[in-house]
Chains A and B, each alone.
Chain A
């Protein structure tokens, strides 16, 4: 539909990894006239023909940009999931920023489409969860803290906008945890700790999404019309213990309370990001989402499964100490040849 085709695209959170990648992909599309990137800090990587505007989306000035540039498509990637700044500030960004942005979108007559980055964290993590969440499922225990709660609230405001502006094409994407060579998140920092603490007695099922697939999904959602809410995750599931073994990282199971204490110590003295309550719950109970609806809608499947995403992430990092597997190979070879050496 040419009427709905994206002409002027606004990307929020452009100075961060995902925003920059999406802006770079969109500007390569000749059908898009302008790509405008906004964020509160200047971008660390060159953005090409993307026009960067330094603006705080928590202020009404975002409305001015949308109105003057006649923005017809907003790609909202501003959800902050890490704990590098204080929780109160993160919440300001996530919730108040989204409210301002959506208010501006509702007012603008040029608006055609909204693509929102949400998170699979909206499903929460609990032992009573169904094994696999589909988009229709409600969380058994709704998240009560952190960015997961923000994402739930953001989705609520987006639903409100959709009700008031029925003419908009609104896509909400619930992303699994990103993983890949370029990703820096609480998860990647956790996976690369020298000795990784895990929650004693639990081995959660995890799912990853490769950064390239995430960018491709966002591109398709922007240039094509796919209204609705979709789970986005790579195929397949890994257990935490399995992922850590593949990473060659030694891990130590510790009781959950000591785990959060360790996280606090790490944050205070080691400059690490600590374990937020929602990360800790995820590392205890895990979560799996069903990407069937997305695959059917796009007639496309993420190129990397969870395993491949992890492998690609690991290949870009220094390997962990691990166990010398060659020793096993030599022993096995010796035995299958018949008789131990010597």
Chain B
């Protein structure tokens, strides 16, 4: 796949670019370093400059969804990667179940009050499965300034059947959180209990596109912002689905915005092929409900298994 290779290149380039950021301090350190290191440093600076030049001249490409692989790999992923590696120490299980190419629908549980699980899942798939994960996001994301276009630049789009079908038709790996706000905003007491899986729209989309569903369980996101109460009137005032109270927020102010450093595990389950159902199945609500329940049970079982395996939440 062509895009695949390009992405790899971007990733490599970016790694070098990321090291350059403290430009001045790096340069003054140059005297004390060996010749090899110095060469690498200079190459790093050169590639960082090349990235800046590309950005300033606008010489990069975005796809019809607004996905900007250059920007994503150089700016967004490194930030997320720091959280992924150092803070949440994410461990991956069943990575072989993510297909190397071709369309597939990744279905995961959603939790954590702030949807960092989507971000971590993108890093996991990008760094370890060498693919771009195209998430389907809530419409609230696209109404908000900044968040909307950053989400598009990271390759994500609005959760609507047309966009999902278009992405799957292009052979992309699409990720979806069917629980939506019910999942991400559930109280801490309900952790690791899957909520209703929407209305099964994701199953219809997968059936129509003829792609397999890959169940995915994310363990650890539940503990990052334990939501112990909800200020509904304030949420209504701000037009948000909920306004969370956590043990640290708003008690500690801005410091309360820091997620708790829980230990994460992401498990990819075996792909569930849908070919046996045939094309008409998408128009048969009973089949769609049955498959939805099946996927949900699968993810719930994976969640319990992975939770046991992880053990304590913070060590």
Contact = CB atoms under 8 A, between A and B. Distances in A.
> Is chain B a partner of chain A in the same complex?
yes
Interface of A: 127-132, 134, 137, 200-205, 236-239, 241-246, 288, 307, 322-323, 325, 328-329, 331-332, 335-336, 338-340
Contacts of A238: 62
B251 interface: no
Contacts of B52: 328
B85 interface: no
10 nearest A-B pairs in the assembled complex, by CB-CB distance: A201-B145, A245-B58, A335-B46, A246-B58, A203-B149, A130-B162, A127-B142, A328-B53, A127-B143, A336-B46
B146 A130 contact: no
B101 interface: no
Most buried by A among B39, B66, B68: B66
A127 B62 contact: no
A130 B163 contact: yes
Tell me which of A131, A137, A242, A323 has the highest count of chain B C-beta atoms within 10 A of its own C-beta: A131
Counting contact residues on chain B (CB < 8 A from A), the size range is 35 or more
B146 A201 contact: yes
Contacts of A205: 62, 64-66, 152
Contacts of B160: 128, 130
B43 interface: yes
Max count, chain B CB within 10 A of own CB: residue among A246, A307, A322, A328: A328
Contact of A332 (B49, B64, B166): B49
Contacts of A129: 158
B57 interface: yes
Nearest to A242: B58
Given A131-B157, A335-B43, 11 more contacts: A127-B143, A127-B158, A131-B158, A131-B166, A202-B149, A205-B64, A237-B64, A246-B59, A332-B50, A335-B46, A338-B42
Nearest to A129: B158
B210 interface: no
Nearest to B157: A131
Which of B49, B53, B55, B163 has the most CB atoms of chain A within a 10 A radius of its CB? Answer: B49
A200 B65 CA distance: 20
27 contacts: A127-B139, A127-B148, A128-B139, A128-B142, A128-B158, A130-B158, A131-B157, A131-B162, A132-B163, A137-B162, A200-B145, A201-B144, A201-B145, A202-B149, A203-B149, A237-B62, A237-B66, A238-B62, A242-B60, A307-B61, A323-B56, A325-B56, A328-B52, A328-B56, A332-B50, A335-B42, A335-B46
Contact of B55 (A236, A245, A338): A245
Contacts of A339: 42
B162 A132 contact: yes
B37 interface: no
Contacts of B60: 242
Interface in B32-81: 39, 42-43, 45-46, 49-50, 52-53, 55-66, 68
A336 B60 CA distance: 21
B277 to A, nearest CB: 25
A202 B163 CA distance: 20
A127 B145 CA distance: 10
Contacts of A137: 162
Nearest to A336: B46
B interface: dominant SS:
helix
> For A245, A322, A339, which residue has the most chain B Cβ atoms within 10 angstroms?
A245
A331 B139 CA distance: 43
Interface of B: 27, 39, 42-43, 45-46, 49-50, 52-53, 55-66, 68, 139, 142-146, 148-149, 152-153, 157-158, 160, 162-163, 166
Contacts of B166: 130-132
Contacts of A331: 49
A132 B52 CA distance: 30
A288 B162 CA distance: 13
A306 to B, nearest CB: 10
Contacts of A202: 145, 148-149
A285 B42 CA distance: 40
A240 to B, nearest CB: 9
A178 B62 CA distance: 20
B208 to A, nearest CB: 15
A129 B146 CA distance: 17
A243 B62 CA distance: 11
Contacts of A237: 62-64, 66
A246 B53 CA distance: 11
A127 B158 CA distance: 9
A10 B35 CA distance: 75
Contacts of B64: 131-132, 205, 236-237, 288
B62 A239 contact: yes
A137 to B, nearest CB: 7
Nearest to A286: B66
A310 B42 CA distance: 35
B181 to A, nearest CB: 16
Nearest to A128: B139
Contacts of A325: 53, 56-57
A72 to B, nearest CB: 38
A60 to B, nearest CB: 43
Nearest to A244: B58
Contacts of B163: 130-132
A52 B115 CA distance: 63
Nearest to A255: B145
A282 to B, nearest CB: 14
Nearest to A330: B49
Nearest to B53: A328
